[in-house]
């Protein structure tokens, strides 16, 4: 796991000092080593990396090189099948010097070319691949977008890239992209390929960006799977296939030269990964969870119950309202683009616990909800078309429901459900998952660009599968994975997620929808796959979600954070509307946690080191 960055400028000078400053801004991602290389006199390309050494700590320094030295590779992430690929290469007399996955990639590219080599890689990664003789640079992002990569073209034509936006921040004047900030207020994150800044882009998952003397072009090397239609609907057979695929994915992610732990919330997803990992371990794994001091949010008892059942060595950290100011300051200091998923606070505290325990690598259950229908929105779409004609009647009725504060409550979901009824299915889905409403902000039509594009790609699928596809492309890639990457890498920790293995994602796409959702039963096939390995209570437990009690805290001990907030964001949120939202939330009339948190995060980001 690393942070990579660099500059490319054919016909000019790629400034080594500037590139080194970019790399050093990513030191938190790789505390073990720094590598820089340049080519040309004067240099036309400079590449660098910070390294978190989990595989081949002594011999795996970057860049990886092929036998001739023509191909150089810098890698952020992990290639989980590098051992098998190394064995194959050596059987073909390829002289591999190290046990590093980065060197394997270099040899594979040299022998097979970039598209064929990428198709062989299993893992989470971004790559900077340099063909020294051809003077060609290729930037690559993994299939699911687990690892981030940003790029921009400077005023002199230099291509700059980095693992985090912060490294590109000081490379010339930046202008805010208003539609990206509007998208953030709607969806709580900024959708790829946008960033907060004009001319600065996120490389899309499953694509590579190539630049040489012929110019710059972007190519898709992996296409996200959309369900392919009818398939045999035998639950036990699909569950057996899923169980076997998960075993392989977990085994690959346990491979490291350091101890690997697990993140255990007590929910089905993290419990499944913990059970499969513990079954493959010769000693008790160390598991980690958060106990939240608020009704409806605390999963500590469930995590302890599962840990006791599986025999892990469990550690727990407490999260209370008194921790919020410190954690919010830390997140703001590190947040180079706004992200309003409030569970980032709990995730940050969890990463502190892992680091305090001395670990640098953990497994997680991220990605299961988006493949196996874990969210209640998949059920809501089935009711939306029936309810839409009655939206005017349902609106006042939903607002009369008493407001509750213990997690994601029925009254909150009912109000959000009605809010989305007048919109097309994909925009409705984004509204259900998001914060502010379009008519509250007066957003431009272009703000829906990515939502509409992903909806079109999934147009031929059934309604549930369309929602899962949208969740994978947006909520997962631009929300959940960004949250986990920033929280973990800020503490020098690698998080590996077996459910994000592309073989698991593809297998889920091949399944008939009733394997995932039947009536009100969600994740049917995953529950069947884990039967006998987890306590019955865990398999039958209702989804709670990993969250932070922002709603009740902003009414009570943290209400001071909202002081003067309307004046700080009145160019994007009408001041009268935000003041009304604050008043309604304080009075307990409505739970506006997501609106308030997104406005607060935007204000903090703009005042912070990476904002305006």
pLDDT at 230 over 80: no
The confidence score (pLDDT) of residue 413 equals: 85
Overall average pLDDT of the 309-324 stretch: 96
d(CA 427, CA 377): 13
Delimit the CATH 3.60.20.10 region(s) of the chain: 2-175+191-220
**pLDDT tier, 57 (very low <50, low <70, confident <90, very high otherwise):** low
Mean pLDDT lowest among 165-179, 238-252, 372-386: 372-386
Whole-number average pLDDT of the chain:
92
CB-based burial of residue 350 (10 Å sphere; 0-12 exposed, 13-18 middle, 19+ buried)? buried
First to last CA, the chain: 30
pLDDT at residue 385, as a whole number: 84
Cα 273 to Cα 312: distance, rounded to the nearest angstrom: 12
Instruction: Give dist(CA 164, CA 174) in Å, integer.
Output: 16
pLDDT reported for residue 59: 61
Q: Give the SS3 label for residue 134.
A: coil
Tell me: pLDDT of 1 over 60: no
Summarize the confidence of residues 565-587 as an average pLDDT: 95
Q: Give the CATH fold of the 2-175+191-220 domain.
A: 3.60.20
Choose among 197, 192, 202: nearest CA to 150. 202
Rg over alpha carbons for the chain, rounded to the nearest Å, is 24
Separation between Cα atoms, residue 82 and residue 174, nearest integer Å: 39
CA distance 188 to 341: 6
Say whether the peptide bond before residue 63 is cis (omega within 30 degrees of 0): yes
| Dihedral of alpha carbons 556, 561, 563, 567, sign | negative
- Cβ atoms of 324 and 579 within 8 Å: the answer is no
Quote the pLDDT of residue 406.
Answer: 77
* Residue 55: predicted pLDDT: 66
131-154 per-position pLDDT tens digit:
999 999 999 999 999 999 999 999
Inform me whether the pLDDT recorded for 54 exceeds 70. Answer: no
pLDDT band at residue 13 using 50, 70 and 90 as cut-offs:
confident
Name the nearest CA neighbour of 591 among 412, 340, 377: 412
Strand 123-131 vs strand 136-141: parallel, antiparallel, or unpaired? antiparallel
pLDDT band at 258 (very low <50, low <70, confident <90, very high): confident
How high is the pLDDT of residue 273? 98
Q: How far is CA 236 from CA 240, 512, 528, 529, in A?
A: 6, 13, 7, 8
Looking at residue 380, what is its pLDDT? 86
Which residues, including other chains, have CB under 8 Å from residue 176's CB and lie 6 or more apart? 196, 197, 198, 612
In the sheet that holds 215-220, the strands lie side by side as: 64-65, 71-79, 123-131, 136-141, 207-212, 215-220
Give residue-wise pLDDT tens across range 416-426. Answer: 888 889 899 99
pLDDT at residue 412, rounded to an integer: 85
Lowest mean pLDDT among 52-66, 192-206, 429-443, 532-546: 52-66
The answer, yes or no, to whether residue 501 has pLDDT greater than 90, is yes
Identify the weakest region by mean pLDDT among 40-49, 65-74, 323-332, 406-415: 406-415
Q: Which residue has the tokens 């003067």?
A: 564
Provide the pLDDT for residue 379. Answer: 83
pLDDT over 70 (residue 58): no
Position 373 confidence tier, pLDDT thresholds 50, 70, 90: very high
Phi and psi dihedrals of 335, rounded to 5?
-85, 100
**High-pLDDT (> 90) share of the chain, %:** 75
Higher local confidence (pLDDT), 253 or 170: 253
Which range in 5-9, 47-51, 256-260 is most confidently predicted, on average pLDDT? 5-9
Say whether pLDDT at 415 is over 70. Answer: yes
pLDDT of residue 2: 82
pLDDT in tens, 441-463: 999 899 999 999 999 999 988 88
3 state SS of 36? strand
**Surface-to-core class of residue 505, CB atoms within 10 Å of its CB (0-12 exposed, 13-18 middle, 19+ buried):** buried
DSSP 353-398: HHHHTT--EEE--TTHHHHHT-STHHHHHHHHHHHGGGHHHHHHHH
Q: What pLDDT is stored for residue 163 in this prediction?
A: 97
User: Which of these ranges, 274-278, 478-482, 546-550, has the smallest mean pLDDT?
Assistant: 546-550
| Ramachandran angles phi, psi of 157, nearest 5° | 95, -5
Instruction: Report the pLDDT value the prediction gives residue 79, as an integer from 0 to 100.
Output: 96
- Separation between Cα atoms, residue 27 and residue 36, nearest integer Å: 13
Task: Report whether pLDDT(118) > 60.
Answer: yes
Instruction: Give the tens place of pLDDT for each residue, 502-540.
Output: 999 999 999 999 999 888 889 999 999 999 999 998 888
Confidence of residue 558 (pLDDT cuts 50, 70, 90): very high
CATH 3.40.50.620 intervals, the chain? 224-545
DSSP per-residue string spanning 542-585: PP--S---HHHHHHTTTGGGGTTHHHHSTTTS-HHHHHHHHHHH
Tokens 């060197």 — which residue?
103
What's the confidence (pLDDT) of residue 429? 94
The yes-or-no verdict on residue 231 having pLDDT over 80 is no
Prior bond of 42 cis (ω within 30°): yes
Query: Residue 82 is inside which H or E element, if any?
Result: helix 82-91
Q: What is the C-alpha to C-alpha distance for residues 543 and 414, in angstroms, rounded to an integer?
A: 17
User: Rounded to whole angstroms, how far apart are CA atoms 199 and 183?
Assistant: 17
CATH fold of 224-545 reads Rossmann fold (3.40.50)
């Amino acid at each position: 796991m690393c942070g990579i960055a660099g500059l490319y400028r054919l016909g000019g000078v790629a400034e080594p000092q500037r590139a080194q400053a970019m790399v050093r801004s990513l030191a938190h991602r790789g505390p073990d080593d720094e590598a820089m290389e340049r080519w040309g006199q004067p240099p036309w390309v400079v590449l660098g990396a910070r390294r978190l050494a989990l595989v081949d700590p002594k011999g795996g320094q970057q860049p990886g090189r092929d036998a001739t030295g023509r191909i150089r590779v810098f890698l952020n992430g992990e290639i989980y099948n590098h051992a098998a690929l190394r064995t194959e290469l050596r059987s073909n007399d390829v002289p591999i010097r190290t046990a590093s996955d980065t060197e394997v990639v270099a040899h594979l590219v040299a022998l097979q070319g970039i598209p064929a080599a990428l198709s062989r890689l299993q893992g989470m990664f971004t790559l900077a691949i340099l063909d020294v003789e051809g003077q060609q640079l290729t930037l690559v992002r993994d299939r699911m977008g687990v690892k981030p990569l940003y790029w921009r073209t400077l005023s002199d034509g230099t291509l700059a890239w980095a693992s985090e936006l912060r490294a590109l921040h000081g490379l010339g004047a930046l202008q805010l992209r208003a539609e990206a900030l509007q998208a953030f207020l709607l969806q709580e994150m900024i959708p790829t390929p946008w960033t907060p800044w004009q001319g600065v882009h996120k490389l899309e998952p499953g694509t590579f960006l190539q630049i040489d003397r012929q110019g710059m072009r972007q190519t898709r090397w992996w296409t996200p799977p959309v369900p392919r239609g009818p398939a045999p609907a035998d639950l036990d057979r699909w569950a057996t296939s899923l169980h076997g695929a998960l075993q392989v994915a977990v085994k690959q992610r346990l491979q490291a030269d350091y101890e690997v732990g697990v993140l255990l919330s007590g929910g089905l997803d993290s419990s499944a990964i913990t059970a499969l990992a513990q079954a493959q371990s010769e000693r008790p794994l160390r598991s980690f969870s958060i106990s939240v001091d608020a009704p409806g949010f605390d999963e500590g008892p469930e995590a302890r119950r599962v840990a006791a059942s599986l025999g892990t060595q469990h550690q727990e950290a407490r999260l209370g309202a008194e921790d919020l100011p410190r954690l919010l300051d830390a997140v703001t200091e590190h947040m180079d683009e706004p992200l309003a998923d409030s569970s980032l606070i709990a995730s940050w505290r969890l990463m502190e616990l892992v680091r305090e325990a001395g670990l640098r690598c953990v497994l997680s259950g991220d990605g299961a909800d988006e493949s196996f229908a874990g969210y209640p929105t998949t059920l809501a779409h089935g009711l939306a078309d029936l309810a839409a004609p009655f939206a005017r009647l349902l609106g006042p009725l939903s607002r009369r429901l008493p407001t509750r504060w213990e997690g994601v409550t029925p009254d909150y979901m009912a109000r959000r459900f009605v809010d989305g009824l007048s919109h097309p299915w994909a925009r409705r889905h984004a509204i259900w998952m998001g914060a502010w409403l379009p008519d509250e902000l007066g957003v431009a039509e272009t703000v829906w660009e990515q939502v509409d594009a992903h909806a079109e790609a999934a147009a031929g699928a059934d309604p549930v599968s369309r929602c899962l596809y949208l969740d994978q492309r947006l909520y997962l890639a631009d929300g959940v994975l960004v949250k986990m990457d920033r929280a973990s890498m800020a503490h020098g920790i690698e998080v590996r997620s077996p459910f994000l293995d592309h073989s698991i994602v593809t297998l889920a796409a091949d399944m008939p929808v009733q394997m995932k959702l039947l009536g009100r039963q969600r994740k049917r096939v995953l529950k069947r796959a884990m039967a006998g390995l987890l306590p019955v209570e865990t398999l039958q437990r209702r989804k709670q979600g990993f969250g932070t009690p922002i709603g009740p805290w902003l009414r009570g001990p943290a209400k001071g954070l909202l002081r003067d907030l309307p004046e700080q964001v009145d160019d994007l949120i009408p001041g009268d509307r935000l003041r009304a939202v604050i008043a309604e939330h304080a009075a307990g009339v409505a739970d506006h946690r997501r609106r308030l948190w997104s406005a607060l995060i935007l204000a903090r980001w703009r005042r912070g080191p990476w904002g305006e």
